Structure 1
Amino acid sequence: MSDAVAWHDGIADRFDAAYTRARGFRERKMVWSRLISRYAPAGARVLDAGCGSGVLTAVAAEHAAHVLAVDGSAAMLDLARRRIAIEGLAHVVLRLAMIDERVLAQEAPFDLVLCSSVLEYVDDFWGTVDTLVSALAHDGMLLFSVPNSHSVYRHAERLMFRLCGWPRYRRHVRHIIALEALQRELAQRNLEVMETVYYAPAPVLSPVLRALGAARFSDTLVVLACRHRR
Protein backbone atom coordinates (compact mmCIF):
# COMPACT_ATOMS: atom_id res chain seq x y z
CA MET A 1 0.00 0.00 0.00
CA SER A 2 2.92 2.37 0.68
CA ASP A 3 3.84 2.31 -3.04
CA ALA A 4 0.27 3.28 -3.96
CA VAL A 5 0.37 6.16 -1.47
CA ALA A 6 3.65 7.41 -2.95
CA TRP A 7 2.15 7.15 -6.44
CA HIS A 8 -0.83 9.27 -5.40
CA ASP A 9 1.49 11.79 -3.75
CA GLY A 10 3.13 12.26 -7.12
CA ILE A 11 -0.08 12.67 -9.11
CA ALA A 12 -2.10 14.67 -6.57
CA ASP A 13 -2.35 17.90 -8.58
CA ARG A 14 -3.25 16.10 -11.82
CA PHE A 15 -5.76 13.91 -10.00
CA ASP A 16 -7.51 16.92 -8.49
CA ALA A 17 -7.53 18.83 -11.80
CA ALA A 18 -9.12 15.84 -13.54
CA TYR A 19 -12.40 16.52 -11.72
CA THR A 20 -12.67 19.62 -13.90
CA ARG A 21 -10.93 18.50 -17.07
CA ALA A 22 -11.72 14.80 -17.53
CA ARG A 23 -15.14 13.48 -18.49
CA GLY A 24 -14.74 10.33 -16.41
CA PHE A 25 -13.89 12.29 -13.27
CA ARG A 26 -16.76 14.72 -13.83
CA GLU A 27 -19.09 11.75 -14.11
CA ARG A 28 -17.55 10.24 -10.97
CA LYS A 29 -18.45 13.36 -9.01
CA MET A 30 -21.96 13.40 -10.46
CA VAL A 31 -22.63 9.73 -9.63
CA TRP A 32 -21.25 9.98 -6.12
CA SER A 33 -23.09 13.25 -5.48
CA ARG A 34 -26.38 11.57 -6.33
CA LEU A 35 -25.62 8.61 -4.08
CA ILE A 36 -24.49 10.78 -1.17
CA SER A 37 -27.65 12.85 -1.47
CA ARG A 38 -29.76 9.68 -1.53
CA TYR A 39 -28.17 7.88 1.41
CA ALA A 40 -27.02 10.63 3.79
CA PRO A 41 -29.71 11.15 6.45
CA ALA A 42 -30.35 14.61 7.88
CA GLY A 43 -27.61 15.55 10.33
CA ALA A 44 -25.47 12.61 9.21
CA ARG A 45 -22.06 11.67 10.51
CA VAL A 46 -19.95 10.76 7.47
CA LEU A 47 -16.59 9.06 7.02
CA ASP A 48 -14.69 9.60 3.77
CA ALA A 49 -12.10 6.82 3.85
CA GLY A 50 -9.39 7.68 1.34
CA CYS A 51 -10.63 11.19 0.68
CA GLY A 52 -7.98 12.17 -1.86
CA SER A 53 -8.16 15.87 -2.68
CA GLY A 54 -11.45 16.27 -0.82
CA VAL A 55 -13.86 16.64 -3.75
CA LEU A 56 -16.33 14.08 -2.41
CA THR A 57 -15.66 15.22 1.14
CA ALA A 58 -16.98 18.65 0.21
CA VAL A 59 -20.04 17.07 -1.41
CA ALA A 60 -20.71 15.02 1.73
CA ALA A 61 -20.32 18.13 3.89
CA GLU A 62 -23.32 19.67 2.11
CA HIS A 63 -25.51 16.98 3.69
CA ALA A 64 -23.72 16.13 6.94
CA ALA A 65 -23.39 17.57 10.41
CA HIS A 66 -19.90 16.07 10.78
CA VAL A 67 -17.41 14.59 8.30
CA LEU A 68 -14.18 12.77 9.10
CA ALA A 69 -11.95 12.53 6.00
CA VAL A 70 -8.78 10.42 6.12
CA ASP A 71 -6.09 9.74 3.55
CA GLY A 72 -2.61 8.26 3.58
CA SER A 73 -1.24 10.75 1.02
CA ALA A 74 0.07 13.99 2.49
CA ALA A 75 -0.05 15.70 -0.91
CA MET A 76 -3.69 14.73 -1.42
CA LEU A 77 -4.59 15.86 2.08
CA ASP A 78 -2.94 19.25 1.52
CA LEU A 79 -5.26 19.77 -1.45
CA ALA A 80 -8.22 18.64 0.64
CA ARG A 81 -7.29 21.11 3.40
CA ARG A 82 -7.14 23.91 0.84
CA ARG A 83 -10.55 23.01 -0.56
CA ILE A 84 -12.18 22.68 2.87
CA ALA A 85 -10.72 26.02 4.00
CA ILE A 86 -11.86 27.84 0.84
CA GLU A 87 -15.39 26.46 1.21
CA GLY A 88 -15.45 27.23 4.94
CA LEU A 89 -16.47 23.73 6.00
CA ALA A 90 -15.77 23.92 9.72
CA HIS A 91 -17.60 20.64 10.40
CA VAL A 92 -15.04 18.65 8.39
CA VAL A 93 -12.10 17.02 10.19
CA LEU A 94 -9.13 15.97 8.01
CA ARG A 95 -6.65 13.39 9.21
CA LEU A 96 -3.47 11.99 7.65
CA ALA A 97 -3.92 8.27 8.26
CA MET A 98 -4.40 4.91 6.61
CA ILE A 99 -7.77 3.19 6.92
CA ASP A 100 -7.20 1.79 10.38
CA GLU A 101 -9.75 0.55 12.90
CA ARG A 102 -8.03 2.37 15.76
CA VAL A 103 -8.25 5.69 13.92
CA LEU A 104 -11.87 5.24 12.87
CA ALA A 105 -13.04 3.95 16.26
CA GLN A 106 -12.28 7.33 17.83
CA GLU A 107 -15.22 8.90 15.98
CA ALA A 108 -17.43 5.95 15.00
CA PRO A 109 -20.24 5.19 14.47
CA PHE A 110 -20.97 6.82 11.11
CA ASP A 111 -24.28 7.01 9.27
CA LEU A 112 -22.54 6.97 5.90
CA VAL A 113 -19.10 5.64 4.95
CA LEU A 114 -17.56 6.53 1.58
CA CYS A 115 -14.61 4.75 -0.02
CA SER A 116 -13.99 5.82 -3.62
CA SER A 117 -11.27 4.09 -5.69
CA VAL A 118 -9.24 2.95 -2.69
CA LEU A 119 -9.88 -0.74 -2.02
CA GLU A 120 -8.11 -1.95 -5.17
CA TYR A 121 -4.82 -0.65 -3.71
CA VAL A 122 -4.95 -1.95 -0.13
CA ASP A 123 -3.00 -4.97 1.07
CA ASP A 124 -6.02 -6.70 2.63
CA PHE A 125 -9.22 -6.04 0.68
CA TRP A 126 -11.71 -7.80 2.92
CA GLY A 127 -9.93 -6.82 6.11
CA THR A 128 -10.31 -3.19 5.04
CA VAL A 129 -13.98 -3.70 4.15
CA ASP A 130 -14.52 -5.22 7.61
CA THR A 131 -12.87 -2.18 9.18
CA LEU A 132 -15.19 0.15 7.28
CA VAL A 133 -18.24 -1.93 8.22
CA SER A 134 -17.20 -1.87 11.87
CA ALA A 135 -17.38 1.93 11.74
CA LEU A 136 -21.02 1.93 10.56
CA ALA A 137 -23.96 2.85 12.73
CA HIS A 138 -26.66 0.16 12.97
CA ASP A 139 -28.62 1.67 10.06
CA GLY A 140 -25.55 3.07 8.32
CA MET A 141 -24.74 2.82 4.62
CA LEU A 142 -21.42 1.92 3.03
CA LEU A 143 -20.67 3.22 -0.48
CA PHE A 144 -17.52 1.86 -2.09
CA SER A 145 -16.23 1.67 -5.63
CA VAL A 146 -13.95 -0.84 -7.30
CA PRO A 147 -12.66 -1.42 -10.84
CA ASN A 148 -15.31 -3.05 -13.03
CA SER A 149 -14.02 -6.55 -13.73
CA HIS A 150 -16.53 -7.01 -16.59
CA SER A 151 -15.22 -4.00 -18.52
CA VAL A 152 -13.78 -4.91 -21.91
CA TYR A 153 -11.54 -1.87 -21.61
CA ARG A 154 -10.19 -3.11 -18.26
CA HIS A 155 -9.24 -6.43 -19.88
CA ALA A 156 -7.47 -4.63 -22.73
CA GLU A 157 -5.72 -2.40 -20.22
CA ARG A 158 -4.46 -5.43 -18.29
CA LEU A 159 -3.04 -6.94 -21.48
CA MET A 160 -1.41 -3.65 -22.44
CA PHE A 161 0.22 -3.41 -19.02
CA ARG A 162 1.65 -6.91 -19.34
CA LEU A 163 3.08 -6.06 -22.76
CA CYS A 164 4.54 -2.61 -22.15
CA GLY A 165 3.95 -1.50 -18.54
CA TRP A 166 1.22 1.01 -19.40
CA PRO A 167 -0.84 2.42 -17.76
CA ARG A 168 1.62 2.84 -14.90
CA TYR A 169 -0.98 2.94 -12.14
CA ARG A 170 -1.67 -0.78 -12.78
CA ARG A 171 1.51 -1.73 -10.98
CA HIS A 172 -0.12 -0.59 -7.74
CA VAL A 173 -3.47 -2.35 -8.24
CA ARG A 174 -3.77 -5.43 -6.05
CA HIS A 175 -7.43 -6.39 -6.38
CA ILE A 176 -9.95 -6.53 -9.21
CA ILE A 177 -12.81 -8.67 -7.98
CA ALA A 178 -15.85 -9.74 -9.99
CA LEU A 179 -19.12 -8.17 -8.89
CA GLU A 180 -20.68 -11.58 -8.28
CA ALA A 181 -17.84 -12.53 -5.91
CA LEU A 182 -18.18 -9.20 -4.12
CA GLN A 183 -21.90 -9.75 -3.62
CA ARG A 184 -21.33 -13.27 -2.24
CA GLU A 185 -18.71 -12.09 0.24
CA LEU A 186 -20.86 -9.15 1.33
CA ALA A 187 -23.82 -11.49 1.88
CA GLN A 188 -21.62 -13.70 4.07
CA ARG A 189 -20.94 -10.60 6.15
CA ASN A 190 -24.69 -10.05 6.46
CA LEU A 191 -24.53 -7.02 4.18
CA GLU A 192 -27.26 -6.29 1.66
CA VAL A 193 -26.38 -4.60 -1.64
CA MET A 194 -29.04 -1.93 -2.19
CA GLU A 195 -27.74 -0.53 -5.46
CA THR A 196 -24.92 -0.85 -7.98
CA VAL A 197 -24.00 1.88 -10.45
CA TYR A 198 -21.55 1.60 -13.34
CA TYR A 199 -19.70 4.77 -14.35
CA ALA A 200 -16.45 6.23 -15.74
CA PRO A 201 -16.79 5.70 -19.50
CA ALA A 202 -14.24 3.80 -21.52
CA PRO A 203 -13.02 5.48 -24.73
CA VAL A 204 -15.08 4.48 -27.79
CA LEU A 205 -16.77 1.51 -26.09
CA SER A 206 -19.02 3.19 -23.55
CA PRO A 207 -21.18 5.32 -25.89
CA VAL A 208 -22.03 2.22 -27.95
CA LEU A 209 -22.52 -0.25 -25.11
CA ARG A 210 -24.44 2.23 -22.97
CA ALA A 211 -26.84 2.77 -25.86
CA LEU A 212 -27.34 -1.00 -25.94
CA GLY A 213 -27.97 -1.13 -22.19
CA ALA A 214 -24.68 -2.92 -21.56
CA ALA A 215 -22.74 -0.39 -19.47
CA ARG A 216 -21.47 -3.20 -17.23
CA PHE A 217 -19.24 -4.33 -20.11
CA SER A 218 -17.80 -0.91 -20.89
CA ASP A 219 -17.70 1.45 -17.91
CA THR A 220 -14.51 1.14 -15.89
CA LEU A 221 -15.82 1.55 -12.33
CA VAL A 222 -18.73 0.30 -10.27
CA VAL A 223 -19.98 1.61 -6.94
CA LEU A 224 -21.94 -0.53 -4.49
CA ALA A 225 -24.31 0.79 -1.83
CA CYS A 226 -24.77 -1.67 1.02
CA ARG A 227 -25.97 -1.90 4.60
CA HIS A 228 -26.48 -4.42 7.38
CA ARG A 229 -29.18 -6.91 6.39
CA ARG A 230 -32.40 -6.36 8.32
Structure 2
Amino acid sequence: MSDTVNADPAELAKFSELAHRWWDPESEFRPLHQINPLRLDWINALCPLSGKRVLDVGCGGGILADSMAHKGAEVLGVDLASKALRVAQLHALETGTQNIQYREVSVERLAQEQPASFDVVTCMEMLEHVPDPGSVVRACAQLVKPGGWVFFSTINRNAKAFMLAVVGAEYVLNMLPRGTHEYAKMIRPSELAASCRDAGLEVLQTKGLEYNPLTRRYWLSWNTSVNYLFATQRIV
Protein backbone atom coordinates (compact mmCIF):
# COMPACT_ATOMS: atom_id res chain seq x y z
CA MET A 1 0.00 0.00 0.00
CA SER A 2 1.33 3.42 -0.91
CA ASP A 3 1.63 5.91 1.91
CA THR A 4 -0.13 8.53 -0.21
CA VAL A 5 -3.26 6.46 -0.91
CA ASN A 6 -5.43 8.19 1.71
CA ALA A 7 -3.88 11.65 1.72
CA ASP A 8 -4.65 14.84 -0.17
CA PRO A 9 -1.39 16.34 -1.52
CA ALA A 10 -2.88 19.84 -1.29
CA GLU A 11 -3.68 19.29 2.39
CA LEU A 12 -0.14 18.05 3.11
CA ALA A 13 1.36 21.03 1.30
CA LYS A 14 -0.89 23.44 3.19
CA PHE A 15 0.28 22.28 6.61
CA SER A 16 3.90 21.86 5.51
CA GLU A 17 4.05 25.51 4.44
CA LEU A 18 3.01 26.57 7.94
CA ALA A 19 5.18 24.03 9.76
CA HIS A 20 7.76 26.51 11.05
CA ARG A 21 4.99 28.37 12.92
CA TRP A 22 3.50 25.30 14.63
CA TRP A 23 4.93 25.99 18.10
CA ASP A 24 4.27 29.73 18.04
CA PRO A 25 1.20 30.13 20.33
CA GLU A 26 0.29 33.41 18.60
CA SER A 27 0.46 31.96 15.07
CA GLU A 28 -2.22 30.33 12.92
CA PHE A 29 -1.96 27.39 15.33
CA ARG A 30 -3.11 29.43 18.34
CA PRO A 31 -6.44 27.51 18.48
CA LEU A 32 -4.58 24.19 18.77
CA HIS A 33 -2.49 25.52 21.63
CA GLN A 34 -5.61 26.80 23.36
CA ILE A 35 -7.69 23.62 23.03
CA ASN A 36 -4.84 21.22 23.79
CA PRO A 37 -5.15 21.33 27.60
CA LEU A 38 -8.89 20.66 27.28
CA ARG A 39 -8.55 17.60 25.08
CA LEU A 40 -5.50 16.32 26.99
CA ASP A 41 -7.29 16.48 30.36
CA TRP A 42 -10.41 14.86 28.86
CA ILE A 43 -8.38 11.96 27.43
CA ASN A 44 -6.34 11.55 30.62
CA ALA A 45 -9.47 11.54 32.81
CA LEU A 46 -11.06 8.70 30.81
CA CYS A 47 -7.83 6.74 30.36
CA PRO A 48 -4.86 7.80 32.54
CA LEU A 49 -1.93 8.08 30.13
CA SER A 50 0.96 7.33 32.47
CA GLY A 51 2.64 4.10 31.43
CA LYS A 52 0.45 3.68 28.34
CA ARG A 53 1.70 3.12 24.79
CA VAL A 54 0.01 5.85 22.76
CA LEU A 55 -0.27 6.55 19.03
CA ASP A 56 -1.14 10.06 17.79
CA VAL A 57 -2.41 9.87 14.19
CA GLY A 58 -1.98 13.02 12.13
CA CYS A 59 0.26 14.47 14.83
CA GLY A 60 1.41 17.48 12.81
CA GLY A 61 3.94 19.50 14.77
CA GLY A 62 3.42 17.39 17.88
CA ILE A 63 1.37 19.62 20.21
CA LEU A 64 -0.83 16.80 21.56
CA ALA A 65 1.81 14.07 21.24
CA ASP A 66 4.33 16.10 23.25
CA SER A 67 1.83 16.83 26.02
CA MET A 68 0.84 13.16 26.28
CA ALA A 69 4.50 12.21 26.66
CA HIS A 70 4.74 14.71 29.52
CA LYS A 71 1.85 12.83 31.16
CA GLY A 72 4.07 9.74 31.26
CA ALA A 73 2.96 7.97 28.09
CA GLU A 74 5.26 6.32 25.56
CA VAL A 75 4.17 8.14 22.41
CA LEU A 76 4.54 7.57 18.67
CA GLY A 77 3.34 10.42 16.47
CA VAL A 78 2.70 9.71 12.78
CA ASP A 79 1.94 12.06 9.90
CA LEU A 80 2.58 12.38 6.17
CA ALA A 81 3.56 16.08 6.26
CA SER A 82 7.37 15.88 6.31
CA LYS A 83 8.05 19.45 7.40
CA ALA A 84 5.60 19.31 10.28
CA LEU A 85 7.21 16.07 11.49
CA ARG A 86 10.66 17.66 11.40
CA VAL A 87 9.33 20.54 13.49
CA ALA A 88 7.90 18.03 15.98
CA GLN A 89 11.20 16.15 16.20
CA LEU A 90 13.16 19.36 16.64
CA HIS A 91 10.84 20.56 19.39
CA ALA A 92 11.23 17.27 21.27
CA LEU A 93 15.02 17.58 21.03
CA GLU A 94 15.05 21.21 22.12
CA THR A 95 12.78 20.65 25.10
CA GLY A 96 14.17 17.25 26.07
CA THR A 97 10.80 15.48 25.87
CA GLN A 98 11.26 11.84 26.86
CA ASN A 99 9.53 8.73 25.48
CA ILE A 100 8.43 10.24 22.18
CA GLN A 101 9.11 9.25 18.58
CA TYR A 102 7.83 10.51 15.26
CA ARG A 103 7.49 8.66 11.98
CA GLU A 104 6.38 9.54 8.45
CA VAL A 105 3.96 6.72 7.66
CA SER A 106 0.27 6.36 6.85
CA VAL A 107 -1.98 4.98 9.56
CA GLU A 108 -3.11 2.24 7.17
CA ARG A 109 0.48 1.10 6.60
CA LEU A 110 1.18 1.17 10.33
CA ALA A 111 -1.94 -0.92 11.01
CA GLN A 112 -0.52 -3.62 8.76
CA GLU A 113 2.82 -3.49 10.58
CA GLN A 114 1.70 -3.18 14.20
CA PRO A 115 -1.88 -4.38 14.73
CA ALA A 116 -3.23 -4.31 18.31
CA SER A 117 -0.05 -2.63 19.58
CA PHE A 118 -1.28 0.51 21.37
CA ASP A 119 -3.25 1.13 24.57
CA VAL A 120 -4.53 4.47 23.28
CA VAL A 121 -4.90 5.94 19.78
CA THR A 122 -5.70 9.63 19.22
CA CYS A 123 -6.77 11.14 15.90
CA MET A 124 -7.61 14.79 16.44
CA GLU A 125 -8.53 17.43 13.86
CA MET A 126 -7.42 15.08 11.09
CA LEU A 127 -10.40 13.14 9.68
CA GLU A 128 -11.78 16.21 7.87
CA HIS A 129 -8.53 16.52 5.90
CA VAL A 130 -8.36 13.07 4.26
CA PRO A 131 -10.20 11.65 1.22
CA ASP A 132 -11.42 8.52 3.08
CA PRO A 133 -11.97 9.11 6.81
CA GLY A 134 -13.53 5.66 7.21
CA SER A 135 -10.22 4.08 6.24
CA VAL A 136 -8.48 6.04 9.00
CA VAL A 137 -11.10 4.96 11.57
CA ARG A 138 -10.64 1.30 10.58
CA ALA A 139 -6.86 1.57 10.82
CA CYS A 140 -7.08 3.21 14.26
CA ALA A 141 -9.32 0.35 15.41
CA GLN A 142 -6.82 -2.20 14.10
CA LEU A 143 -3.93 -0.48 15.88
CA VAL A 144 -5.44 -0.35 19.37
CA LYS A 145 -5.40 -3.35 21.70
CA PRO A 146 -8.72 -5.04 22.53
CA GLY A 147 -10.33 -2.92 25.24
CA GLY A 148 -8.09 0.02 24.37
CA TRP A 149 -9.25 3.58 23.74
CA VAL A 150 -9.48 5.50 20.46
CA PHE A 151 -10.20 9.24 20.57
CA PHE A 152 -11.37 11.30 17.60
CA SER A 153 -12.17 14.96 17.10
CA THR A 154 -13.50 16.64 13.98
CA ILE A 155 -16.08 19.16 12.70
CA ASN A 156 -19.79 18.63 12.12
CA ARG A 157 -21.28 19.23 8.66
CA ASN A 158 -24.20 21.64 8.86
CA ALA A 159 -24.98 25.31 8.23
CA LYS A 160 -23.95 26.41 11.73
CA ALA A 161 -20.59 24.64 11.49
CA PHE A 162 -19.97 26.20 8.09
CA MET A 163 -20.71 29.69 9.38
CA LEU A 164 -18.64 29.36 12.56
CA ALA A 165 -15.78 27.01 11.62
CA VAL A 166 -15.23 28.20 8.04
CA VAL A 167 -16.68 31.68 7.47
CA GLY A 168 -16.21 32.90 11.05
CA ALA A 169 -12.90 31.31 12.00
CA GLU A 170 -11.15 31.68 8.62
CA TYR A 171 -12.62 34.80 7.02
CA VAL A 172 -14.05 37.01 9.79
CA LEU A 173 -11.91 36.38 12.87
CA ASN A 174 -8.82 35.20 10.91
CA MET A 175 -8.20 32.55 13.56
CA LEU A 176 -7.22 29.99 10.94
CA PRO A 177 -5.65 30.25 7.47
CA ARG A 178 -8.27 30.56 4.74
CA GLY A 179 -8.93 27.23 3.12
CA THR A 180 -8.10 25.20 6.25
CA HIS A 181 -11.46 23.41 6.11
CA GLU A 182 -13.70 22.31 3.25
CA TYR A 183 -17.39 21.97 3.97
CA ALA A 184 -17.77 18.80 1.89
CA LYS A 185 -15.13 17.02 3.99
CA MET A 186 -16.79 17.75 7.33
CA ILE A 187 -18.32 14.76 9.10
CA ARG A 188 -21.62 14.47 10.94
CA PRO A 189 -21.48 12.69 14.33
CA SER A 190 -23.91 10.06 13.03
CA GLU A 191 -21.51 9.32 10.14
CA LEU A 192 -18.50 9.03 12.43
CA ALA A 193 -20.47 6.85 14.85
CA ALA A 194 -21.38 4.52 11.97
CA SER A 195 -17.73 4.30 10.90
CA CYS A 196 -16.73 3.51 14.48
CA ARG A 197 -19.34 0.74 14.81
CA ASP A 198 -18.29 -0.76 11.48
CA ALA A 199 -14.68 -0.82 12.73
CA GLY A 200 -15.54 -2.53 16.02
CA LEU A 201 -15.34 0.59 18.18
CA GLU A 202 -17.99 1.42 20.77
CA VAL A 203 -18.68 5.13 21.27
CA LEU A 204 -18.64 5.68 25.03
CA GLN A 205 -18.66 9.46 25.28
CA THR A 206 -19.27 12.41 22.99
CA LYS A 207 -18.22 15.98 23.77
CA GLY A 208 -18.63 19.30 22.01
CA LEU A 209 -15.96 21.99 21.82
CA GLU A 210 -17.27 25.55 21.99
CA TYR A 211 -15.65 28.97 21.58
CA ASN A 212 -16.60 32.48 22.65
CA PRO A 213 -14.97 35.03 20.27
CA LEU A 214 -15.46 37.86 22.77
CA THR A 215 -13.63 36.20 25.66
CA ARG A 216 -11.50 34.07 23.28
CA ARG A 217 -12.18 31.11 25.53
CA TYR A 218 -12.77 27.46 24.63
CA TRP A 219 -14.59 24.88 26.72
CA LEU A 220 -15.95 21.34 26.46
CA SER A 221 -19.72 20.86 26.55
CA TRP A 222 -22.46 18.51 25.33
CA ASN A 223 -23.12 20.68 22.25
CA THR A 224 -21.77 18.78 19.24
CA SER A 225 -23.22 21.10 16.59
CA VAL A 226 -19.81 22.43 15.45
CA ASN A 227 -16.61 20.87 16.83
CA TYR A 228 -16.96 17.55 18.62
CA LEU A 229 -14.93 14.71 20.16
CA PHE A 230 -15.59 10.96 20.45
CA ALA A 231 -14.18 8.61 23.08
CA THR A 232 -14.42 5.03 21.81
CA GLN A 233 -13.24 1.64 22.98
CA ARG A 234 -12.33 -1.37 20.91
CA ILE A 235 -14.84 -4.10 21.58
CA VAL A 236 -13.05 -7.18 22.91
Coarse TM-score class (shorter-chain normalised) = 0.7 to 0.9
Q: Which amino acid aligns with 2:185?
A: H
Report the CA distance between 1:159 and its aligned residue.
Answer: 7.2
**Residue segments in structure 1 that go unaligned for 5+ positions in a row:** none
| Residues 151 and 216, structure 1, Cα contact 8 Å, conserved in 2 | no
Matches within 5 A, 1:208-223: 215-217=223-225, 220-223=226-229
Match of 2:179 among 163, 168, 185: 168
Q: Which amino acid aligns with 1:180?
A: S
Match of 2:146 among 109, 132, 138: 138
- Structure 1's 102 and 188: CA in aligned 2 closer, same or farther, altered over 3 A? closer
Residue 17 of structure 1: SS of its match in structure 2? coil
Identity level (%) = 22
1:100 alignment partner in structure 2 = 108
Matches within 5 A, 1:34-73: 34-38=41-45, 39-73=47-81
1:201 alignment partner in structure 2 = 211
RMSD: 3.2
Report the CA distance between 1:104 and its aligned residue.
Answer: 6.4
1:176-209 Cα shifts (integer Å, max 9, x gaps):
12112322332343321121222252646998xx
Report the CA distance between 1:168 and its aligned residue.
Answer: 1.8
Report the CA distance between 1:216 and its aligned residue.
Answer: 3.2
| Residues 148 and 234, structure 2, Cα contact 8 Å, conserved in 1 | yes
Q: Which amino acid aligns with 1:112?
A: V
| Residues 111 and 140, structure 2, Cα contact 8 Å, conserved in 1 | no
**Residue segments in structure 2 that go unaligned for 5+ positions in a row:** 1-7, 171-176
TM-score of the pair, normalised by structure 1: 0.79
Task: Give, in whole Å, the separation in 2 of the partners of 1:19 and 1:44.
Answer: 31
Residue 185 of structure 1: SS of its match in structure 2? helix
| Residues 206 and 215, structure 1, Cα contact 8 Å, conserved in 2 | no
Q: Which has the higher helix share?
A: 1
- Structure 1's 19 and 76: CA in aligned 2 closer, same or farther, altered over 3 A? farther
Residue 149 of structure 1: SS of its match in structure 2? coil
Task: Give, in whole Å, the separation in 1 of the partners of 2:165 and 2:97.
Answer: 39
Task: Give, in whole Å, the separation in 2 of the partners of 1:77 and 1:22.
Answer: 15
Q: Which amino acid aligns with 1:226?
A: T
| Residues 155 and 228, structure 2, Cα contact 8 Å, conserved in 1 | yes
| Residues 122 and 174, structure 1, Cα contact 8 Å, conserved in 2 | no
- Structure 1's 228 and 19: CA in aligned 2 closer, same or farther, altered over 3 A? farther
Task: Give, in whole Å, the separation in 1 of the partners of 2:42 and 2:101.
Answer: 21
- Structure 1's 107 and 62: CA in aligned 2 closer, same or farther, altered over 3 A? farther
Task: Give, in whole Å, the separation in 1 of the partners of 2:200 and 2:208.
Answer: 23
Task: Give, in whole Å, the separation in 2 of the partners of 1:2 and 1:127.
Answer: 17
**Total equivalences in the alignment:** 219
Task: Give, in whole Å, the separation in 1 of the partners of 2:167 and 2:151.
Answer: 29
Report the CA distance between 1:21 and its aligned residue.
Answer: 8.1
